[in-house]
Structure 1
Amino acid sequence: MEHLKPLRLRCFVQNYDWGRSGEESTVAKLFSLNSNSMIDPDKPYAELWMGTHESGPSFLAGSETDGLDGVGGDGMCAVSLKSWIDENAGAVGEKVVEKWGRDLPFLFKVLSVAKALSIQAHPDKELARVLHKSRPNIYKDANHKPEMAVALTEFGALCGFISLEELKGVLVGVPEVVDLVGHAEVDQVLNIKEQDGEEKAKAVLRSIFTQLMSAGKDAVFEAVAKLKSRLNTENKVRVLSEKEQLVLLLEKQYPSDVGVISAFFFNFVKLNPGEALYLGANEPHAYIYGECIECMATSDNVVRAGLTPKYRDVQTLCSMLTYKQGFPEILHGIPVSPYTRRYLPPFDEFEVDHCCLPTGASAVFPASPGPSIFVVIAGEGSMQTGLSGKDAMITDGDVFFIPAECEISITAAFGDDFTSGTLQLYRAGVNSRCFK
């Protein structure tokens, strides 16, 4: 098989309104370094995209080499990563081509979140095909979108439905929910018993959640106003719960939005740096704050129903959800070398490595049957391939495409102090279990 060399990439930024502004955004800093552009202090920088999706494609950097053959210099050329892969046999590996075609099966991102993203879910493949065919202007592709977020900072998210017992507590303690869904729906939930079984619990949860999300604007406006007034009053005589404090924060960001009240139905997850959360198809979630590395199947399909000024597809969202209940699994990464931890979600399309190298230390990433993308988050050092034997200097903001069957080694620079010598990078690749 033809052996190809690493490629330096120029990547795409998304300026969604929920992103962090200017210098406060890691996405802005990385994009500025990656593209040699100035940061606009008044513009939100939400997502750095690294991959082949048409909504934010990566391009090969200019043709001038800076150490490694095939690693570009500072200029931008008109060759997209997707078109280059299509023209270069072996770029993604035979097994990837057999399963997903000649393209990257994953999309890699960095996120900087200043305010809550929409309450959303991503369709499975069957539903994605239907949605894309019927409304291609809204649902941009026919692929599913399982995803994983690895926290760079403390990272807050709503994820999945709370347990049945917790839900009963909400219905007793949050009268504004009762105002919107009615006593009959509430009584159905309160009368569910453990022996009734999981499917009955899911059916009742689906009914009450659909009723809540379908409530009229006037009723929602009144209920949110009542909730806000009640919590602000009670805050003077007791300490509000974390969920209640979150609800007040969401109300400031999205006044009179049904998502403010529906937040009571979801688990509030707070990740510490280095912890990860994965989300399968048809699972509800909303990122709230913080910065993370995100990886997903190559798709941009999002079905929204709250906390957003964008198009809401309430009927589709409520009909597609799994209605699983309980707290989600948190991943902490598995050590695969002295300086590298691997996050393995239950999805074939991707895995993520975090490599943190102290000054002067090195890590080897063995040749893989599939492709990888590397992003340098902090520090500087050098990259070497077994093919060229040459070193290329790397620093924060650098992004590389590593073809299949290409081994590389990374070494952190020697700095004047340990902080300046620390090199942090993340790698996305096809889930290694696919090659066993």
Structure 2
Amino acid sequence: MPPLSPLPFALLQNPVRRYAWGSPTAIPALTGTTPDGTPQAELWLGAHPSAPSLLSGDGGPQPLDRLIDADPDGMLGPDTVRRFGPALPFLFKVLAADRALSLQVHPTRAQAEAGYAAEQARGVPPDAPERVFKDRGHKPELICSLGDFEALCGFRPAAATARLLDALGVLSPWATALRTRPVEAVLPELLRSGLHADAAELMAVTDSLRRAAAAGGPHAASCAAYARLAAEYPGDRGLLAALLLNHVRLTAGQALYLDSGVPHAYLRGVGVELMANSDNVLRCGLTPKHVDVDGLLAVTSFRTGEPEVLVPRPLGDGAGPDSGAGINTGTGVEEEFPSPAEEFRLSRLRPGATSVRVDLPTPQILLCVAGQAWLRAPGGAGLALPAGASAYLRPGAGPVELTGPGAELFRATTG
């Protein structure tokens, strides 16, 4: 392959994924491109083989996954290769939803390995509609909102769900079961029942949601969100499953961490999403795709409770274990979104006019979402990062300096 630039960073050209639920305007607005009238759902930043970013270099743009294959130690660093193997362990995205994504759950690593082996043994083709386990990995993920954002996340406390059902005046046996039986026993039964509901039951729930949303009251906002789901996916049994989940609204800078087993769906809004580099998804509705009810129940966690909304926490003074693993934060410009994930770590940077040193012990992707930032390498060569632009930073070649009055960036690296 043509040689890379000797600089420790390079611009990325990132593919856009076009799904029906995407926004036709949000990603073009971020990247400064002209909308073409089609939904642009996700901007992928990374080395996923199905849609890798292109890394700018002296020989022209080159796929990031092929560059990593050719020189894993040079592109990832020996420590990352030892920990995760010769592949970038995370996938970074901009997600722009005008309507709901599928309701879904991700398996644990052990469940993924077992499921992948079983499907391989049965000879299920990788592109078969009923194929669930595309790889052996788990898929924890973190979503940070860039504005107003709505999601469903985790099972609502049983008593709260019973009150919602009372307000709707439907599914009374569900409300009774939630009040009188152990939640870990009743939730799997209700989820299975909802995914086998008939058309009449779905219509009754849909009508009740519309009335409750119009009537106002403490459940009006959630009922309006569920009524939108019914309109977006008419006749989809995932609506009843969705009624069991927390309805969450985020503002800019707030985030959610989704671990294995947690049912969730993003309803609308724009955010940056960081996840382990896996494609294992078990769907439970709001989609025309295959729903494996038994497989879904086997990987779902039926814990209840309100989800934790994350806000970024300032990192330390650039020294010690809380220094941010690569950013000299003596000026207080980096904030981290805490998560237990090994594969990834997300932070937000507002560098200002004073240059901030960026050390490079790990592979990193910087995405500018507002203003314009500058990266400067030892020796003075620089790279501009306007809003919507991103750069890949190779480990071991720094430090580099980052500046940008009024700029806001997100940094993805390993955990």
TM category, shorter: 0.7 to 0.9
Task: State the Cα deviation string for residues 5-53 of structure 1 (Å, max 9, x = none).
Answer: 21222111100111101xx21x23445x5xxxx5343200110111111
The 5 Å alignment of 1:201-350 reads: 201-215=183-197, 219=198, 221-233=199-211, 238-239=216-217, 241-336=220-315, 337=329, 338-350=332-344
Of the candidates 18, 22, 41, which is equivalent to residue 21 of structure 2? 18
TM-fit CA distance, 1:317 = 1.4
Q: Give the secondary structure class of the aligned counterpart of 2:340.
A: coil
Task: State the Cα deviation string for residues 61-104 of structure 1 (Å, max 9, x = none).
Answer: 2527xxxxxxxxxxx53x32122123233322222111111211
Is the contact made by 2:344 and 2:414 (CA closer than 8 Å) also made in structure 1? yes
Judged with a 3 Å threshold, the aligned counterparts in structure 2 of structure 1 residues 227 and 154 are, in CA distance, closer, same or farther, namely same
TM-fit CA distance, 1:108 = 0.5
Match for residue 84 of structure 1?
A: 67
Task: State the Cα deviation string for residues 322-378 of structure 1 (Å, max 9, x = none).
Answer: 1110011121111123222111211111111111244x343322232x111111112
Residue type of the alignment partner of 2:53: S
The 5 Å alignment of 1:19-168 reads: 19-21=22-24, 24-25=25-26, 27-30=27-30, 39-63=34-58, 77=61, 79-88=62-71, 89-133=73-117, 134=119, 135=124, 136-137=126-127, 138=131, 139-168=133-162
Q: Give the secondary structure class of the aligned counterpart of 1:309.
A: coil
**1:367 paired to 2:384:** no
TM-fit CA distance, 1:309 = 1.9
Unaligned runs of 5+ in 1: 65-75, 193-199, 413-420, 432-436
**1:190 paired to 2:179:** yes
What is the TM-score of this pair, normalised by structure 1?
A: 0.81
Residue type of the alignment partner of 2:348: H
TM-fit CA distance, 1:234 = 5.2
Task: State the Cα deviation string for residues 160-183 of structure 1 (Å, max 9, x = none).
Answer: 0011221332454444434xxxx4
Residue type of the alignment partner of 1:53: H
Match for residue 73 of structure 1?
A: none
- C-alpha distance in 2, partners of 1:158/1:15? 22
Is the contact made by 1:382 and 1:393 (CA closer than 8 Å) also made in structure 2? yes
Of the candidates 382, 390, 407, which is equivalent to residue 391 of structure 1? 382
- C-alpha distance in 2, partners of 1:12/1:108? 12
Match for residue 177 of structure 1?
A: 171
TM-fit CA distance, 1:263 = 2.0
Residue type of the alignment partner of 1:87: A
- C-alpha distance in 1, partners of 2:211/2:399? 61
**Percent identity of equivalent pairs:** 30
Judged with a 3 Å threshold, the aligned counterparts in structure 2 of structure 1 residues 87 and 333 are, in CA distance, closer, same or farther, namely same
Task: State the Cα deviation string for residues 105-131 of structure 1 (Å, max 9, x = none).
Answer: 111001111001111011112222344
- C-alpha distance in 1, partners of 2:193/2:377? 57
**1:378 paired to 2:370:** yes
TM-fit CA distance, 1:238 = 4.7
- Across the aligned residues of Structure 1 and Structure 2, the Cα RMSD in angstroms comes to 2.2
- C-alpha distance in 1, partners of 2:268/2:91? 21
Q: How many residues align?
A: 382
Unaligned runs of 5+ in 2: 1-5, 316-328
- C-alpha distance in 1, partners of 2:222/2:161? 13
Is the contact made by 1:355 and 1:425 (CA closer than 8 Å) also made in structure 2? yes
